[in-house]
Each structure stands twice: as structure tokens, then as C-alpha cells.
Amino acid sequence: MSLDESVKYISIIGATGYVGAELVRGFAGHPYFRFRHLTSQTFAGKPYSDIYPEYRGVVDNVCEDIPYAEAAKDSDLVITALPHGVSAKIVPELLAEGCRVIDHSGDFRYKDLATYENSYKLTHPNPELLETAVYGLPEFYREDLKTAKLVANPGCYPTCSLIALAPFLKNHLIEEDSIIIDATSGVSGAGRKADLAYAFCELDESFKPYGAVGHRHTTEISEQCSFLAGKASGDIKVTFTPHLAPFKRGMLASVYAKPSQAFENVSSEKINTIYNDFYKGETFVRVLPGKTLPDVKAVACSNYIDVNGVYDPDTNMIKLFTAQDNLGKGAALQAIQAANAMFGFPEEAGLKNIVRGI
Amino acid sequence: MSLDESVKYISIIGATGYVGAELVRGFAGHPYFRFRHLTSQTFAGKPYSDIYPEYRGVVDNVCEDIPYAEAAKDSDLVITALPHGVSAKIVPELLAEGCRVIDHSGDFRYKDLATYENSYKLTHPNPELLETAVYGLPEFYREDLKTAKLVANPGCYPTCSLIALAPFLKNHLIEEDSIIIDATSGVSGAGRKADLAYAFCELDESFKPYGAVGHRHTTEISEQCSFLAGKASGDIKVTFTPHLAPFKRGMLASVYAKPSQAFENVSSEKINTIYNDFYKGETFVRVLPGKTLPDVKAVACSNYIDVNGVYDPDTNMIKLFTAQDNLGKGAALQAIQAANAMFGFPEEAGLKNIVRGI
Amino acid sequence: MSLDESVKYISIIGATGYVGAELVRGFAGHPYFRFRHLTSQTFAGKPYSDIYPEYRGVVDNVCEDIPYAEAAKDSDLVITALPHGVSAKIVPELLAEGCRVIDHSGDFRYKDLATYENSYKLTHPNPELLETAVYGLPEFYREDLKTAKLVANPGCYPTCSLIALAPFLKNHLIEEDSIIIDATSGVSGAGRKADLAYAFCELDESFKPYGAVGHRHTTEISEQCSFLAGKASGDIKVTFTPHLAPFKRGMLASVYAKPSQAFENVSSEKINTIYNDFYKGETFVRVLPGKTLPDVKAVACSNYIDVNGVYDPDTNMIKLFTAQDNLGKGAALQAIQAANAMFGFPEEAGLKNIVRGI
Amino acid sequence: MSLDESVKYISIIGATGYVGAELVRGFAGHPYFRFRHLTSQTFAGKPYSDIYPEYRGVVDNVCEDIPYAEAAKDSDLVITALPHGVSAKIVPELLAEGCRVIDHSGDFRYKDLATYENSYKLTHPNPELLETAVYGLPEFYREDLKTAKLVANPGCYPTCSLIALAPFLKNHLIEEDSIIIDATSGVSGAGRKADLAYAFCELDESFKPYGAVGHRHTTEISEQCSFLAGKASGDIKVTFTPHLAPFKRGMLASVYAKPSQAFENVSSEKINTIYNDFYKGETFVRVLPGKTLPDVKAVACSNYIDVNGVYDPDTNMIKLFTAQDNLGKGAALQAIQAANAMFGFPEEAGLKNIVRGI
């Protein structure tokens, strides 16, 4: 489908939200991908840099409001940044055109249909796709990504929770009913919208929990935790509480769990070693040295996720911490990492040197 | 000791740190207290408003560097805002002058000497005072405050943790070995100092855990939890993790615990009812309605602490949340509330209407 | 009209915007005023503390949606916090009930009708009121306030511009055609509304000019400058540029002007002396010592305005600086200062000790 | 001097300050430069990513504390990020080794020795270098950069002031004695240091002018303005006032000037046209369309500088605005642009796609 065989052509559906904007940023400097269509209903006909002036001279492509199938026709990859429910209807139409798809909604992240439908209060119009969709966390599913037609980009909270928990779940080193995830997101996670709740004067100098019962990411985390532990969807259930903090980008997960009987001689040092062993060779999972703990500042605007953990002997508790950018490894840049894996490019292509600095 | 019998005279030792500044703010508009001495070694001879220009025309008292005993001599109440270790040595000298004392350090907060000494890595020079010192949380110890000579102002994390947990510990409604406290503080908690770690460019757009094992407030929380449950110091141990967030003032505690067998028909509504019953008549503990969760924004610059909780039936977990100002209810304004109780003034005197607004 | 003769009753029309909220904060702790009605169309029937949780237990009055005349009937003072154009129609109705009025819009701030109508692109329905309305800057018009029926609360930018310029205009010490005002406001100046332009992610880490030609406050400043210099409306014209900065509260004016021939031996010291002489005895105008320059931090949440200036001999330029809280001295708290003057209370009543602290 | 002829080797002296860190970020992804030495006295022996954890896996080079000449020996380009006064002494030593040098201090920015010495209160130890040093603003001096041995990287305030003023000075369209520059910087401009004045709690929610008389950048701006107008150093003098705002990165200049007689039919449209004509073909100077005004948000973390202006007919005043990143176009990234020009690479190499995004 490519005009130039050496590069792949991508289209972004819903390109003007914050996830769309981060996709645009990431792909703008990518050595192997080129933009075909940036679609937007609201801003059709306007240069992208009219909506995001930071892209003036960088990405001046004009936003289009074209039928989804048309966007798919001449693209190797279509990335959808649409609300859940909407994606579920549209994605089959895109796949029918023969392109591959990465979807940012929750619509294809679950293997268990009932869990999805209960969590999202929706009837899935295309449940058969749940089986073939690949959960786009390259560190766990990179083999499947190579041939995937449809990739469900993971949620932001699930990504940082699962990266923290994976080595311990895979090796059965924690009590599976003891997992508590206390996580905090920057404001960009709420998306780009006119909403008093996200106004500067309402959020500056604020900090609060939200969705303390039944946040949708809870079941997504639980299902993937179950899979990591070699169990069926729903076998493991986690306690999850998100918070909102006054910064734009970044997400921290503080994860608590009891060591299992299998975890011998548990210590902070051992936790660090387990992480180093498990994530050896992973470019984007950075295991911090010693007892250094992650800070969202260090991962802002990047695809890196920093991880470390400690053991509290007084209460026999393991504490695991991960920091990522909610729009980066938590969304758009992880999608680019997955796109690299899908098309056989090095996973770090276009991503390795993107950091915010100070 | 007062010149004017209708008011009480206070001195603040270490008046120019952030806790000192908040004491000054709170007492400046107080109907029943007047400043006698504001002491500072660094700024002796300078008007207070030279250090904090916001107080120009409000508090222009000149900072003094006088012997502690001299400050105590003509004061009804001396409030010390000094580092731990220093307070332990000085407070007896102040008490010897016949004045009453509120101390902001950790030096007199413990009943169990060994716990203090292990937590602070110090040998206490005046351990006999631990017994008579009153833990200055008025909601729990107001009777003792009336006659207290020495009041140990509680730590900020302990205050919001204990207010969250008290009704459940007193009534044995939670599993005592299941308590996890995940808390977040604004930057002013670190005090007023030249330190790169607290520079604007290092903290703006950052979020991170710190002191993940062995933070000193852990043992202070544990001891008071034990007392609330009618047990001996150390019988209950809690898991505690503090985080640092990019706002100046405020602190949020997210507390997790398993309901005990005694907790029948546990539900979010019941948790709300328990709080309302327990804190009935308390001016400064505000139980939020329904499932409204606390936000540090709503308590900034005030002595209020907002509280609520929910129940997650999927994991049988209770989640409790409190928000306070770390310098307010978490430090200086709580000390004023205690001072009111000590001298027989209404606890809300000078405090009720202090809120930041937007 | 008061039930209790020792206090005055106030109603606030449009009580739930940010100016309304600051009026509520200021009056909540006032010794001589009591709330009668807090009106809101959007939130009628709800306790004020449902909209602003920081006021829980402080101001729980229920918002009402009642006819304006009814609110006026049993109030000594009605304060309107309504959009321009709306106030112009409603205020006569309020005055007809015999109460006194402070209006926060631009509708009654001008003496020259054409200037108002050109600036606001409106036809004034009650132009006769322009003559009798008092411009509510107590430092300049406190005698008129004593008997005023209608007070036009000054704009935020005009207040800080005029306080900076007054001594020099009154004494003809600057070239009247050389005035440039470069000012910066915190975000709360935009009001409480769902608008993407004021979203946290759009404004955090941003800084920009706006309304660089024809901002409405320009003509308000120009007219009052003319009056201060003893001239007719429009005789003096100023260059004015506002900027928006990422903080919630506060406003800084940096004012440039050439010294006139009448200004002998101009120096930074002399500017400071002129300010000290001119504002002697003023509680809320704080002339900073030496070459100390104002900072919005020091006036946040207060009615204070800090002022100072310097002289640059290299370019023969005077630079004047004022800092105030845009919602404080720039709006609501200045209205309370005016209300004090109107009813014969000390101007500092209820205001002197309100500062934010850290 | 290069080992690999296809790339150039750079060393950074003083690599661990904020300017150094931004140089490291910019060069890390550059196609044609490679690091040779990153020097630091404080952090010698530590990996760069220990000091800036965001660079873990990106730049793990070990900091060295080696003699300056040694760093120069095997480098094609040495970039110094040292305090003024220090650079003046060291740079000749570097040049003696045959490498080319970009210096970030003020020591080589002036052509007029007396102006430098008066501004910096120093005696220049190597004044002969002032003549040959090239002022590293590529838009004005790119021809000279090609052969320059020593490049003086411009100050941040001068860069944004000069880009705003250049077309009008070159074409004599403004009164040369009427220039007023009111500028605002983010906090990173103060550098990386432990200093209470730059602590989070001192700067968050603050805004203030500083250095209102005699800021050193004033004379640097004045000299370059004189040269742009074809005059001798000091012939033009500007009024300049810097402000400090609570964001990390970014700088805005608001520039005021009177149109000269030569400026016919002055209008906002014409100002925009003049900018478009003057900066045609410049990648990094982005003239905004219509009356769109610059915002520091749009240039953060990039080498772009956004520019536009308006005309106020009421006061016959031109207002010009530029926004840049103080560490980007205002310092480190501009140095990379200059380095590209020096070595014959496309000026946009490694810079074009660096933007922060949201």
C-alpha cells in the first residue's frame, strides 16, 4: 500500500486530542513512518499547527474529515484515538480495507467479553475481534505484535501497574489476593476538553482521589494480572485507586503486595535483582539502581518507564513503584513502540532519544 | 504572667521557618493571644515582615535572638518550631520557667522511649517528659490538653492517618494488621531551606515516593493506632509510604484496610455514617457527603480536615481518605486549636473562618 | 433595613463566580456585615459549600434564585458580580428598593458615556447613573463613598495601574503621553467557566500576551489617569498590554513613563519618597523599602497592594511596579474596603489580617 | 581531529548545569555530532544519568574532571557553559589546542571592551578576542559562523529582544530612543543551584520583576541594536526590565517602540508583513499569522522562536512580541544551530523535530 516502499504510511483517526497530538509528535521525527491522513471532525480543513502551534513548521498537514474507510485505503497502519464504544464500531471497517490498526480505546483490550461489557456498560458490536486483538504491551506480547492485524493499546494505569507486577506474578512471588495499586496521574490523562473540572484554577494546588470504586482500568489490570500468573481472566482481582495531581504529564503507580511463601529471603535488594533479571535487554523499562525510587519528572515526554521496589520487614510488605508519562509509555509512544514491533523495525526507532530534559 | 489578663502571651521559638510563619499567620488574627517574642537566630534584629513580606503591616514585630528561658519568662505559652533533638534539650528549660509549651518536633510524641530512640536514632536526654507530654490531637486528647504543661504537636502524616482510622480502630472494625497508608504531601512540608532537591525546576511537573522504608512517622502512626485500639505501643504496625507532589500546601492520605468480622454489612454508606457519628460536633473534621472524596484544595490554608471513605466489594477492601493542609491541621493551625483547648478558649477561636478560597 | 442595628446586611447577586466566592470569603469573617441572600441561577437550592467545598462549615447558606428587587428589599447593601451589560439593566431596579449597590462590572465605571459605549460596544440603558456613580477606589474617592448610592468597583488592571501612577499624575511629574503599562494577571481573572483556553493543560507552563490592542481596561485607565491629572476624560491616553501567567491569583503592573520637566533631581530614592508621602496612612497600599520590588506572592489572598519604583538614568525612564491580588484589591476585597467606607466602618475592618502565608 | 570523519566530536565544559543538560539533550539525538568529554568538577566519575535520571539509557557517559586543554585536544568543538569571568580566562587555552569554541558566558559577546567591563565589573584578561569572536545568532551572523574560531552564544533576553526588533532597526522604522523591552523568564534561567530564592515554595504562585536597573543584558541588547541599525556600539540605548514567572522553561519579550517617520501607513498587518519578509526562509523564526500572539508554551523545549506584532493607533505605539525557550533558542539549542552553521551542516539538523508537545 506504500508509495515509497522504504517507509510505512500511517493515518491517525482523532488526531487532535492529546493522545493524537502525542502520536503526531512521536511520528513526526520517526525514521520509518510517514503521515497519510490526520483526521478531525472539529478541525477539518485546518493545518495541524493551527490547533497545536508548537507544531508550526514541524507538522503543518491539513486535518481531514474523510470516511474512515478512505483513510484506511492508502495507509499501512491506522491509529484510532477515539472514545470507547465508537472504536468498537469503526475498527472492523478499517480492518476490512486491509490495513493494520492500533486502537487507543478500551474496546479491544479484554479477552473476556462479560468483563468488558460490565466494565464499560456497553454491548460489544464485534466481540469476535476480542480473541484476535493483541494487547499492545510490547514487553509481554511482542511476538504476537509481529503479525497482529488489530492491536489494543493498553490503558495508562494498566501499563504502569503491569510493568510493576509482572516479574512477581509470573514467578508467583506475591499473594495474588493482596495487590493494592495506588496511582496518580497528571491532568493530560483527562483529555483535551472544555470542562470546569479540569480548569487551571480548579486543579492548580489540588490533589485528590477519584473513581475510588469501579474505575474501568481495574478490570483491565485484573485480567492481565491473571494472564501473567497463568490464570483465567478474573482469577486475580486488584484494589485500584487513581488520583489526580497538578502536573500535565506523568503517572506514578505505588503497588503493595504481600510476598508469597515462594519468595525466599525477600529483601529490597532481591526485588531490585528480580527486576533487573526480568527486564534485561528492555530499552524502555529502566530498573533504577539500589533504592532509588521513580519520579515522573524523569520520564516526562518519553517512552521510558522507571521501576524499582523495596521490602518493608516491619509489616512484611513489598512496595513496587513505576513512573511513566501517561501520554508516552502510557499511551501514544507505547503505540509507536508497538508499531515498530508490528512492522519489523527496531522497537526503539524514533523513540530512544525523546526526553523532555529539565 | 500576662500583662493584660484578658489575653494570653505567646512566644514562638524558631519563628521564621514555614511552620513558624503559619503560626504567626494564625495568631496574628487571633482574638485571645498576643505575640511576646518571635525568635530567630538567622534574622535577629529584623522585622518579621522583612523575611515574609506578606506580613508587612500585619506582623512587623522584630525577631529576637534571646536565651530560651528569657523568652519563656514573660510568656503564657511558648511554641517551639525546632528540629528534633534540639527540642528534647530545650523544652525542660522552658517548662522550668513556668510557662506551658507546645513542641513541633518528634521529641515528645511517643510514649515508648525505645520506639522514639530507634526511630530518631537519638538518645533522649529527658525521657521522663514522655509520660506527661500530651499528644496534641484535640479530637482525641482534648481533656488532657486542658491541664497539659507540655503538648507534643502531632506529625502531619500521623494527623491525617489517625483521623481517617480512629473510628474503625476504636470500634475494632478493621483487621489491625492490614493497614496501608499511601500519603502525599505538598512541598512546604520539607521546610524553608536552600536545597536543590526542593528547587522549583526540580519539583515542578514532578511526583515521586520517598522514604519508602522506615519514614519516622510510621512508628508515630503505629503507636497512636495501637492506643486508639486500646492496645500497647507497637501492637499495631502500619505500612506507610509518603509521596511528594508539586503544590505548596496540602496533604492527602489514602488508607487501605480489610474490614474485620465485627464490621457487619460493610458498605460505603455505612463508612460515611460511622464517620458522621464519630466526628459529630467536631468543627474541624468535615465528613463529606455521600461518596464525595476529599481534595487538598478545599482545606488549603485552613485547620479543616476533610474525610470520607468507600468500600470496594470486589476485593473486600475499605478505602479511607483524608485531606488537610500540612502546615494547617497538619502543624501550626492544629497547634493553635490545641492552644485554645489548653487555655479554655473555644477551639475554633481565630480558626473557623481561615480558608484560602480559590 | 437591618434587623440587627449593629450589623449591616448584604446580598450578593451572582455569588458563585470567582469574584462572588472571594466576596463570600471576605465577608464570612467580617465583624460588621452579615449575609442576607447569595443568589445564583445555576446553583439555586444548593448550599454554598456544595459549590465551594472549602466553605463547608464556614458558609453553608443556600443559594437562591429570587427576583433582584426581592434581594434588595431586605439588604443594606447589594453587591452585583454580573457580566457587563447585565448590570447596566439591573442596578436601577436594585437602587429603587432603597439599598446601596456596589457593582463589579464595567457598566458604571466611566464618566464619559461615549468612551464606555465605544469600549464595550453597547448602548447604555441608564446613562444618567454614570454621573452619580462613585468609582470605588477608596484611596482616591473615600469621601464620595460615604454617601454613595452606587459604587462602581474598579477593574483589576485599572486599580494596580492607577495606584502606581497617581502620585506622579497628580503632581505632574511624568510626561502624560509617555505612559506604558505592561501587566500580568493570574488565571482566576478569567472567571469560573468551562473553557478549553483556561484548562490546566493549556495554561500550565505557559505565558502569553492577549488583547494587545483595545483591551477594555485601557480606556478605564485612561479616563481615571486624566482625572488624576486634573484633566478631562480622554485627555490622557495610555498604552496597555495584559498578559496571562500560570498562577491562580495575583496581578503585577510594570509601568513606564518619562519624567516631566517638573520632576527635579529624579532618582530611585525620590520615587520611593514620593510614594511614601503620597500613601502615608494608607493601610492597604504598602510602599516597599529601598529598591525592593513587588511580588504577587506577597499580596495573594489579601487586600494589600505593594508598590515601588526605580529610575533608569541611562534612558531617563521611570519604572513603577505594583502587585495585588486580582480577586483581592483588584476586585472583591477592594469592594469590602469600599463597603466599610460606605457604612462608616474602619476601612480595614475584616481585611487587615487576611493574608495567604506561604 | 575526528576519529570518524563523517561526524564531529564535541566536548562540553560544565555539562551538569541546566544549559549543559540541554546541550546534552540536543546533541544526544544529533545526526552529525558525537560526545567526546562531558566535564564536571562536582560530579566527576559519575554517569551523566546519575545526575539527570531522565537520560538513563540515553546518555550514560561518565563525567570527567580533566584539564581544559585535554578536553580540547581531541574535540572538534568545545562548548563552555561556565560563569562569566571564568570563560574569559579559559577560552584562549581551548583555542590554543586548535579546536573551535562556543562560549555561553557574557565574556565574548561585546565588541566594545568598556561596555563589557562596566557591565560585568571585570577587567577582561583577553580583550583581543572580542574582535574576532562571532556573536552566535545564526539569523544575523551565519556567514561569520562558517569560519568562526570562537562563537559567543547570545544571552537569552538579547536573543528574543533582537529577533523582535531586527527588521525595524535595520530598516529604520522605529524611533531608536523609544525602545522598551519588558520580558519574562521561566525559572530555569537562574540555573541549577541550591538557593532559597528559587525554591518551589518561594516561586510557585509568584510573579515579580527583578534587576530593574542595570541588568547586564541591557548593554548586550543595546550594542547589538546599534549594530543592526548600522551604528556604533552604545548609540542606541534600550529600557529593559526582566521578570520571573512560575514555569520552568520559556521566555517572552514584549517590546514597545514608536514608529519612525520612515514607517509609512503603519498597521498591524504591515508589521506582520515586515516580519514575514524579513524572516522568510528562516526555519526557527516562526512569524505567527494575523494577530496571533506568541505563547511560551508553543516553543518550550524547542529551538523555535515565535514572533508577531501589533500597532496601537490610539497611542501610535508598536508592540512586538517574541516567545522562545530560554534554554532552547535562548541558550543551548541556539548553540547547536550555530554549531551546525560552523561545520557546514544544515542549520536544522537535529533540531527541527524537537518540540515538547502538551
CB atoms within 10 A of CB D292: 16
The residue of chain C nearest to residue D313, with distances taken between CA atoms, is: C213
Helices of type H across chain A:
18-28, 48-51, 68-73, 86-96, 113-120, 129-132, 138-147, 156-170, 200-203, 217-228, 268-278, 333-342
pLDDT score for D8:
97
Question: What Cα–Cα distance (Å) separates residue C342 from each residue in A72, C147, C150, C337?
Answer: 70, 7, 10, 9
Q: Which residues pair with D324 in a beta bridge?
A: D251, D305
The whole-angstrom distance between C352's CA and the closest CA on chain B is 7
Sequence ranges of the domains in chain D: 8-132, 157-326
DSSP state for residue A319 in the 8-state scheme: E
Residue D160 among the catalytic residues: no
Give yes or no for B164 touching C (CB within 8 A). Answer: no
Provide, as residue numbers in chain D, all residues whose Cβ is less than 8 Å from the Cβ of B193: 196, 199
B283 Cβ under 8 Å from any chain C Cβ: yes
Residue D88's nearest CA partner among D72, D108, D68 is D108
| Cell 525595524, located at residue | D168
Interchain CB contact of A301 with D (< 8 Å)? yes
Query: What ipTM was reported for this prediction?
Result: 0.97
Closest to C204 measured CA to CA, from D193, D250, B190, D21: D250
Do C245 and C319 contact (CB within 8 A), yes or no? no
Contact by Cβ (8 Å): C351, C337: yes
Scanning the structure block, which residue is given the C-alpha cell 475481534? A129
Q: Which residues, 6 or more positions from D272, have their beta carbon under 8 angstroms from its beta carbon?
A: D287, D289, D290, D291, D308, D309
In the Cβ-directed half-sphere of B288, how many Cα atoms lie within 13 Å?
28
Cell of B235: 501492637
Task: For B205-251, write each residue's pLDDT tens digit.
Answer: 999 999 999 999 999 999 999 999 999 999 999 999 999 999 999 99
Chain A interface mutation, best of B115, B187, B203, B208, highest count of A Cβ atoms under 10 Å: B208
| C-alpha dist (Å) from residue C307 to B58, C255, C278 | 16, 11, 12
Catalytic residue numbers of B, as ranges: 156
C-alpha span between A358 and D17 (Å, rounded): 10
One-letter amino acid of C44: A
Q: Name the residue among B9, B98, B69, B22 with its Cα closest to residue B333.
A: B22
Q: What is the pLDDT of residue A3?
A: 56
pLDDT of residue C6: 84
pLDDT at residue D5 in the model: 73
**Segment B37-60 mean pLDDT:** 97
Q: What is the distance in angstroms between the Cα of C187 and the nearest Cα belonging to chain D?
A: 11
Closest Cβ–Cβ partner in B205, B218, B247 for A207? B247
d(CA C150, CA C136): 9
B357 φ, ψ to 5°? 75, -155
Q: Does C175 touch chain D (CB under 8 A)?
A: no
Residue C158's alpha-carbon distances to C165, C219, C240, in angstroms, are 10, 9, 10
- What DSSP state is assigned to residue B170? H
Please, is A324 exposed, middle or buried when counting C-beta atoms within 10 Å of its C-beta (0-12, 13-18, 19+)?
buried
CATH superfamily, region B157-326: Dihydrodipicolinate Reductase; domain 2 (3.30.360.10)
pLDDT for residue C4 is more than 80:
no
Whether the pLDDT of residue D191 is over 80: the answer is: yes
Q: Exposed, middle or buried by CB within 10 Å (0-12, 13-18, 19+), for A3?
A: exposed
Is D180 within 8 Å of chain C by CB?
Answer: yes
Asked if residues A323 and A160 have their Cβ atoms less than 8 Å apart, the reply is yes
* Chain B residues touching residue D204 (CB < 8 angstroms): 187, 200, 204, 246-248
Cell numbers representing residue B39 in the block = 525568635
CA-to-CA distance for C106 and C103, rounded, in angstroms?
8
**Interchain CB contact of D275 with A (< 8 Å):** no
What phi, psi does B249 have (nearest 5°)? Answer: -130, 140
Three-class HEC string of chain D: CCCCCCCEEEEEECCCCHHHHHHHHHHHCCCCEEEEEEECCCCCCCEHHHHCHHHCCCCCCECECCCHHHHHHCCCEEEECCCCCHHHHHHHHHHHCCCEEEECCCCCCCCCHHHHHHHHCCCCCCCHHHHHCEECCHHHHHHHHHHCCEEECCCHHHHHHHHHHHHHHHCCCECCCCCEEEEEECHHHHCCCCCHHHEHHHHCCCCEECCCCCCCHHHHHHHHHHHHCCCCCCCCCCEEEEEECCCCCCEEEEEEECECCCCCCCCHHHHHHHHHHHCCCCCCEEECCCCCCCCHHHHCCCCCEEEEEEEECCCCEEEEEEEECCCHHHHHHHHHHHHHHHCCCCCCCCCCCCCCCC
Tell me the three cell numbers of residue B339: 492552644
Distances from the Cα of D139 to the Cαs of A208, D220, D284, in angstroms?
Answer: 48, 17, 9
Q: Do D200 and B187 touch (CB under 8 A)?
A: yes
- The answer, for D199 touching chain A at a CB cutoff of 8 Å, is no
Fold match flag (B8-132 vs B157-326):
no
* Mean of all residue pLDDT scores within chain C: 97
Q: Which among D206, D247, D317 is the nearest to C207, CB-wise? A: D247
pTM: 0.97
Assign domain C157-325 to its CATH superfamily. Answer: Dihydrodipicolinate Reductase; domain 2 (3.30.360.10)
Pick from C195, C196, C204: CB nearest A248? C204
C355 contacts B55? CB cut-off 8 A: yes
As a whole number, mean pLDDT of residues D303-330 equals: 98
What residue in A sits closest to C201 (Cα-Cα)? A248
Work out the average pLDDT over C11-18: 97
Assess C27–D contact: CB distance below 8 Å, yes or no.
no
* Amino acid symbol at C157: Y
Q: Is the pLDDT of residue D69 over 70?
A: yes
How many Cα atoms are found within 13 Å in the side-chain-facing hemisphere of C6? 2
Percent of chain D with pLDDT over 90: 98
pLDDT at B6: 84
Instruction: Report the pLDDT value the prediction gives residue B5, as an integer from 0 to 100.
Output: 73
Banded pLDDT at D133 (limits 50, 70, 90): very high
Which residues are paired to D320 by β-bridges? D255, D309
Q: How do residues D150-177 score in pLDDT, each as one tens digit? A: 999 999 999 999 999 999 999 999 999 9
Alpha-carbon gap: D67 to the closest alpha carbon of chain C (Å): 39
Q: Is the pLDDT of residue D134 over 90?
A: yes
Nearest CA in chain B to A180: B256
Domain covering B8-132: architecture = 3-Layer(aba) Sandwich (3.40)
Q: Does A357 touch chain B (CB under 8 A)?
A: no
- pLDDT-derived band at D3 (thresholds 50, 70, 90) equals low
- Closest of B55, B1, B69 to residue B23, by C-alpha: B55
SS3 B187: helix
Inter-chain touch D317–C202, beta carbons under 8 Å? no
Residue D261 has pLDDT above 90, yes or no: yes
Contact A205 B250 (CB under 8 A): yes
Q: Identify the segments of chain A with pLDDT beneath 70.
A: 1-4
Report DSSP state, residue A17: S
Torsion angle of the four alpha carbons B98, B102, B104, B109, in this order, in degrees rounded to the nearest 10: 90
Q: Which long-range contacts (CB under 8 A, 24 or more apart) does D197-200 make?
A: D198/B199, D198/B200, D198/B201, D199/B192, D199/B193, D199/B194, D199/B195, D199/B198, D199/B199, D199/B200, D200/B187, D200/B198, D200/B199, D200/B200, D200/B202, D200/B203, D200/B204, D200/B246, D200/B248
What CA–CA distance (Å, rounded) separates C86 from C77?
Answer: 18
Instruction: Compute φ and ψ for C169, nearest 5 degrees.
Output: -75, -45
Q: What's residue C3's pLDDT?
A: 57
**Does B3 have pLDDT greater than 70?**
no
Grid cell of D319 as nine digits: 508592540
Encode pLDDT of B80-93 as tens digits.
Answer: 999 999 999 999 99
Rounded to whole angstroms, the Cα distance separating C165 from B334 reads 43
DSSP B216: T
In this complex, which chains have at least 3 CB pairs below 8 Å with chain C?
A: A, B, D
Q: What is the distance between the alpha carbons of residues D304 and D288, in angstroms, rounded to a whole number?
A: 12
Is residue D7 exposed (0-12), middle (13-18) or buried (19+ Cβ within 10 Å)? middle
- Selecting among D99, D156, D160, D301, the annotated active-site residue is D156
Please answer yes or no on whether D208 and C237 come within 8 Å at the CB atom: no
